[in-house]
Amino acid sequence: DVKVTQSSRYLVKRTGEKVFLECVQDMDHENMFWYRQDPGLGLRLIYFSYDVKMKEKGDIPEGYSVSREKKERFSLILESASTNQTSMYLCASSSHLYGTYEQYFGPGTRLTVT
């Protein structure tokens, strides 16, 4: 079974803090994704990575950066957290970018910025 784990289920941070969200997958997948999920908006792609040290912007990259130093680990960084970044953050991984390959999701991190 594919396992995608995220470092925290719940996180509370203050405005202006630097925030790190960590994601680890154990299936040797090339591709990893970061999404945020807000009520009434569905999941939106922030960034994805198709290889170590490679990254591509998604639909809403502003205010975020990512790091992929190892194949199994993909980090999302909020350089200076703001209240509008309060959201559920979901990490996913996939073995291939094309075709009907699954994206496997982690359990999510609910981030509150006060």
Partner 1 sequence: KNQVEQSPQSLIILEGKNCTLQCNYTVSPFSNLRWYKQDTGRGPVSLTIMTFSENTKSNGRYTATLDADTKQSSLHITASQLSDSASYICVVNTGFQKLVFGTGTRLLVSP
Which residues of this protein are in contact with partner 1, per CB under 8 A?
4, 9, 31, 33, 40-45, 48, 90, 92, 94, 96-108, 110
Cα 51 to Cα 59: distance, rounded to the nearest angstrom: 19
For partner 1, the closer of residues 19 and 92 by Cβ is 92
Rank residues 48 and 74 by Cβ distance to partner 1 and give the closer one.
48
Residue number with CB closer to partner 1 (67 or 95): 95
Q: Which two tokens stand for residue 86?
A: 């309060």
Tell me how far, at minimum, the Cβ of 85 lies from partner 1, in Å: 19
Q: Which of 89, 29, 32, 85 is nearest to 56 (CA)?
A: 32
- Least separation in angstroms between residue 37's CB and partner 1 is 8
Q: Tell me how far, at minimum, the Cβ of 43 lies from partner 1, in Å.
A: 4
Spatial contact of 36 and 89, defined as CB atoms under 8 Å apart: yes
β-pair partners for 32: 49, 93
Give the burial class of 37: count Cβ atoms within 10 A of its Cβ; 0-12 exposed, 13-18 middle, 19 or more buried: middle
Q: Is 49 helix (H, G, I), strand (E, B) or coil?
A: strand
Residue closer to partner 1 by CB (options 81, 106) is 106
Find the shortest distance in angstroms from Cβ 89 to partner 1. Answer: 10
